[in-house]
A and B are shown apart, each in its own frame.
Chain A
Amino acid sequence: MAGHISPKSTYYAVFAALMVGTAITVAVAFVNLGSFNFPVAIGIAITKATLVILFFMHAKYSSKLTKLLVGTAFFFLLVLLTLTMTDYLSRGLKTYPGGAGGSGYGVRTPSATGGAAAAPREGAH
């Protein structure tokens, strides 16, 4: 097993980048970016994880097979998260014309479920 030997400076540089990333993510967390706080935090985390995988775990210097395996892991994680979230996040949307009124279709609040029974539901079937 003859692996690639990275210079120490590479590791120090990656370490510094990871620490800077941590500092940024903590600082940004206290700034109200509205709905952008979550994507920013996750974006920084993904960047940090990528650095660890590429340089600390030597994926950058690994065989194509290893790279494919790493890609597979995150591909299926993405499938798991995306498919489930497209379902859950779209449940509050009015998905068909003449849908169930102003309260939105399928929103899980007590008023929506209580009100839906009383409200006229022309479009529902």
Chain B
Amino acid sequence: MWLFLITEVLFFGGLFLAYMLYRVWYPVAWAEASRELDIVLGAFNTAVLIGSSLTMAFAVRAAQTGKQRATVVWILLTMALGLVFLIVKYFEYKEKFEHHHVPGPDFAFEGPQAGPAQIYFSLYFLMTGLHATHMIIGFVILAVIAWMAHKKRFSPEWYTPVEISGLYWHFVDIVWIFLFPLLYLVDRAGHFA
């Protein structure tokens, strides 16, 4: 699992690199476009995802100590928090469509920074979209694990599936830990504006 996560680090790493390069080229557009994002929703989702990492850690702990019922409950809680995250993300995306901040023929952005701002929003959708895809995959994996735990397949001697799906979930959390400041918090202080 760790090996897979290493490939994932560089998968997302490429996007982070693209983000950094364009940010160096278009700092003003980055500042203006990032201020369009809802910082309250972003911070809320960060808290939700960190909370889901906590419940996931407890799910693994319950599996380690042989508490099958508790494992199921903690995984279901983790899934619920994941769902909250995705629902908030849905409303954020919806708002982008309404404001024509989705790159494409309908894209609209006031001021001379419209071109680079479109690049910003392309990266925004690519990075958060890829992250959300990982969340949906994680959600499905957790559903399977919860079912297996419900069927009492795990024991303190063998709980590997719980452990590695936990690793995956925490990894997705880590990606968001970096996406949040990079996409939402960049230049809030008005350094470039």
User: Closest Cβ of chain B: how far from A24's Cβ, in Å?
Assistant: 11
Which residues of chain A come closer than 8 Å to B182, judged between CB atoms?
41
> A3: which B residues are within 8 A, CB to CB?
64, 163
B69 at the interface (CB under 8 A from A): no
Determine the chain B residues whose CB is within 8 A of the CB of A31 once the complex forms: 189
Cross-chain contact A84 with B21 (CB below 8 angstroms): yes
Contacting residues, chain B, for A80 (C-beta < 8 A) = 10, 13-14, 17
Within 8 A of B (CB), among A68-125: 69-70, 72-74, 76-77, 80-81, 84-85, 88-89, 108
- Tell me if A8 and B61 are in contact (CB < 8 A): yes
B25 touches A108 (CB 8 A): yes
Within 8 A of B (CB), among A4-57: 5-6, 8, 11-12, 14-15, 18-19, 22, 25-26, 29-35, 37-38, 41-42, 44-45, 48-49, 52-53, 55-57
Cross-chain contact A1 with B191 (CB below 8 angstroms): no
Known: A19-B50, A48-B177. A69 touches B10 (CB 8 A): no
Task: Give chain A nearest CB distance to B66 CB in angstroms.
Answer: 11
How far does the Cβ of A119 sit from chain B's closest Cβ, in whole Å? 23
Q: Do A52 and B170 form a contact, CB below 8 Å, given A3-B163, A38-B186? A: yes
Q: Mark B166-193, 1 if CB is under 8 A from A, else 0.
A: 1100110110011011100111111100
Q: Assuming the A-B contacts A48-B177, A84-B17, are A56 and B56 also in contact, with contact meaning beta carbons closer than 8 angstroms in the complex?
A: yes
Q: Is B58 an interface residue (CB 8 A)?
A: yes
A41 lies within 8 A of B17 (CB): no
Which residues of B approach A to under 8 Å, CB–CB?
2-3, 5-6, 9-10, 13-14, 16-17, 20-21, 24-25, 39, 43, 46-47, 50-51, 53-54, 56-58, 61, 64-65, 156-160, 163, 166-167, 170-171, 173-174, 177-178, 180-182, 185-191
| 21 A-B residue pairings within 8 Å (CB atoms) | A1-B158, A5-B64, A6-B57, A11-B54, A11-B61, A18-B50, A19-B47, A22-B180, A25-B181, A30-B188, A31-B189, A32-B191, A37-B187, A42-B181, A52-B174, A56-B57, A56-B166, A80-B10, A81-B17, A85-B24, A88-B21
